[in-house]
Amino acid sequence: MSAWMYVIGFIASCSLAVLLTPLVKKLAFRVGAVSVPNHRSVHTKIMPQMGGLAIFLAFAIVYTVVSLIARHYTTEITMALLIGGTIIVIVGAFDDRLALSPKVKLLGQVIAAIVVVSFGLQIDVINIPFTDWSWTPPTWLAIVITIVWIIGVTNAVNLIDGLDGLSAGVSGIATATIMVMALMMPQQEYPIALLCAVLLGSIVGFLFFNFNPAKIFMGDTGALFLGFTLATLSIVGYKQAAFVSFIVPILILGVPISDTLLAIIRRKLNNKPISAPDKGHLHHSLMSLGFSTKKTVLIIYGISILFGLCAVLLSQPTQWWTIVLLAIFLLGMEVGVEALGILSKKRKPVIQLLQRLSGQRSKG
């Protein structure tokens, strides 16, 4: 496939998202899909939600047209994303308007995940980096793992949607990472790369209106759709190349996944329900240090890019320096988590250990 098709797909979806977003904004106000400020909100005025509808429509329309023109598409992947994505968008749109119960939202996510599995897309091989070990789970377990993965990532992306442009930007970086890795595969995965190029364009187009100061929020319509799509692409990208690593997809989506896991641990340590909202997320912690909304988002973009670079490195033939680099990155991440007090304001074992080691060296 000509490289121009990726460029055309990106520009077309970006342009369409720019045209559609103002229309969706008017629609959101008309149907009452708005976000009213509360004690956990960063914004101070009523904001239209449901902006993710513009992302979805731009992606679906442009990808359908461009893939047919280029004749580079996989029916199973396309149908899984479009049908499953439509279900997710409908659920998100109703939630933005009516505030659905968690059970109803979960049911919609399960149905969308089952759609993906029904088209033969599932995690059927798990490889552990740095070893020759791989595991092929039985079919029923592979289906369960896939559904859990899709639902988990979908909600993880939704949970970080707390600042202007945050969720969209992090999702865009993850999409770009998957696209780069698809093009770097021994057998280049053109359909996956084209999907990513079009999705990235629709995200960037929406970001013109969503980056601080935002004129519209993506709402659950967008956050759930992006999470669902990224979860599916992370499976498909490696399934097509017969490589589903245990770590690489997690690194690609490192920010939303780590923030979600830390939230679960934090709430357990504080004896709070897992579903209980709080202001201990990464973006809250950064803002408590005095960073502005824009600077906080840019810092998290930088962290997302680092996660993406680690994922790209680990997808290549392993070198000793790759392992060292990953270890340093994970250590730095733990120090950052403790310094920000994301898990606990008092428990900082790694920082305390490093301080003791530093003290011993100075005495020596």
The string of pLDDT tens digits covering residues 31-58 is 999 888 766 556 668 889 899 999 999 9
Q: What is the pLDDT of residue 321?
A: 64
Which residues are part of a known binding site? Answer: 158, 220
pLDDT tens, position by position, 219-248: 999 999 999 999 998 887 555 443 445 567
Q: What is the pLDDT of residue 112?
A: 96
Residue 243 in 3-state DSSP? coil
The model carries a pTM of 0.86
Place of tokens 């969706």: 24
Q: Are 242 and 125 in contact (CB under 8 A)?
A: yes
Q: What is the pLDDT of residue 240?
A: 45
CA angle, residues 316, 309, 198, in degrees to nearest 5: 95
Q: What is the pLDDT of residue 242?
A: 38
Buried b / exposed e over 9-41, threshold 16 CB at 10 Å, is bbebbbebbbebbeebbebbbeeebbbeeeeee
Percent of the chain with pLDDT over 70: 80
The Cα-based distances of 147 to 106, 158, 179 in angstroms read 11, 17, 23
Examine the pLDDT at 264 and tell me if it is beyond 80.
no
Q: Say how far apart CA 49 and CA 216 lie, in whole Å.
A: 6
Examine the pLDDT at 152 and tell me if it is beyond 80.
yes
Which residues are part of a known binding site for Mg(2+)? Answer: 158, 220
pLDDT band at 17 (very low <50, low <70, confident <90, very high): very high
Examine the pLDDT at 60 and tell me if it is beyond 90.
yes
Domains in the chain: boundaries: 8-318
Q: Say how far apart CA 307 and CA 234 lie, in whole Å.
A: 14
pLDDT band at 263 (very low <50, low <70, confident <90, very high): confident
Mean pLDDT over 205-212 rounds to 92
Strand ranges in the chain using DSSP code E only, listed in sequence order? 34-35, 47-48, 126-127, 134-135
> What is the amino acid identity at position 81?
L
Strands 134-135 and 34-35: unpaired
CA angle, residues 141, 314, 126, in degrees to nearest 5: 15
pLDDT tens, position by position, 153-182: 898 888 887 788 888 999 999 999 888 888
